[in-house]
Amino acid sequence: MPADILDRLHSMPNGIAPRLMNRRVRNLPSRIVMYFLLISFGFVFIYPLIYMVGYSFMSQGDLRSALVTYLPTAIDTSNYATAASVLNFWPSLLNTLYVAVLPAICQTAVACITAYGLSNYRFPGRRIVFALVVATIIIPPTITMLPQFLIYKSLGLTDTLFAFAIPAVLGQGLRAAIIILVFYQIFNMIPRSLYDAARIDGAGPVKLFIRIGVPLAKAGFVIGFLFSLIWYWNETTLAAMYMGNKISTMPMQLETFAQNFSHHYSARSGKSLNEAVYMAGTLLSILPLIVFYFFTQRQFVQSVDKAGITGE
């Protein structure tokens, strides 16, 4: 035990130091169990990333060697060059940004307006509207996938970004109900006295929303945009259905490569060059999201805490 801690214990009145020592000893097993669980769960989450990164840097010699399992003997970046070529990286990245960013912005803005109306106005059918919003979370997307595709096709919305943008503008984007509920909870936490004071000063409904609602809902904008961006970025099934071959995103290119790889190499076992290229392509496809989260993680964590969705 450090000397300063011992000095503090000796300087305490009689009886306090032994009680503190006994409390530390009693809490030791629970601390050991807690740290063991945290390390175990952390390893479960970090293991796929370690495997993916290590595999993506393996050379052909490491791939043929049975002694190399997770970490390469030398860094080889040729897999990333091949993966970038397979993914058609820069055009696919621009298409992915085009498909993900614009609907995410629309979905976040519309979710804010919808939640503000449900939280601050009492109108006939309000509870029914709120129940329908919650129902969109409960109903599996596979049930509505085919009817939506037929409707979009009859309206001529397929093979364009409108298949994603129009539902986002109408509050029916990917998992839009979750973003609406986040904003709804934030607006419910705003004191009503702020709105009453603004009304006394002559503020109308639009001014109340712009001057009070929007500034105090910054946490919802960060959460909503980041979640929406990730959902639209990683969506491949709906993107392939609605846009076909007109707009090909990076995850779609990666999925096509994975299907071709599994078709040609399903009977083989062990490590292969194509699988290393696939791992490199997977890391390239999520790298923009990792970089974006790296620069926004502080705002995101603070926003989650302010929005009250930590489960506490």
Average pLDDT, stretch 164-177? 90
Give the CA diameter of the chain.
84
68 in a structural domain: no
CA distance 263 to 286: 24
Query: Is the pLDDT score of 4 beyond 60?
Result: no
3-state secondary structure 47-104: HHHHHHHHHHCCCHHHHHCCCCCCCCCCCCCHHHHHHHHHHCHHHHHHHHHHHHHHHH
State pTM to two decimals. Answer: 0.81
Query: What's the pLDDT at 97?
Result: 92
- DSSP 8-state assignment for residue 186: H
Phi, psi of 273 (to 5 degrees): -65, -40
- Kindly state whether residue 62 falls inside one of the protein's structural domains: no
| Residue 67 maps to a domain | no
Closest CA to 250 of 127, 123, 32, 87: 87
Q: How far apart are CA 305 and CA 312, in angstroms?
A: 10
Separation of alpha carbons 212 and 190, rounded Å = 9
What is the residue range of 203's domain?
A: 86-307
Give the whole-number percent of the chain exceeding pLDDT 90. Answer: 20
For the chain, the average pLDDT equals 82
Report the distance separating Cα 301 and Cα 165, nearest Å: 28
**Between 154 and 305, the higher pLDDT residue:** 154
- Exposure string of 183-193, with b = 16+ CB inside 10 Å and e = fewer, is bbbbbeebeee
- CA 86 to chain CA mean position, Å: 26
**Same-domain status, 209 and 289:** yes
pLDDT tens digits for range 103-159: 999 999 999 999 999 999 888 988 999 898 888 888 887 888 888 889 888 988 888
Residues 119 and 32 in one domain: no
Are both 37 and 169 inside the same structural domain?
no
- In the chain, the number of structural domains is 2
pLDDT digits (tens, 9 = 90+) for 8-24: 545 555 555 455 556 66
SS3 of residue 240 by DSSP: helix
What's the confidence (pLDDT) of residue 10? 53
Identify whether 71 is part of a domain. Answer: no
Provide the CA 2 distance to its chain's centre, in angstroms. Answer: 43
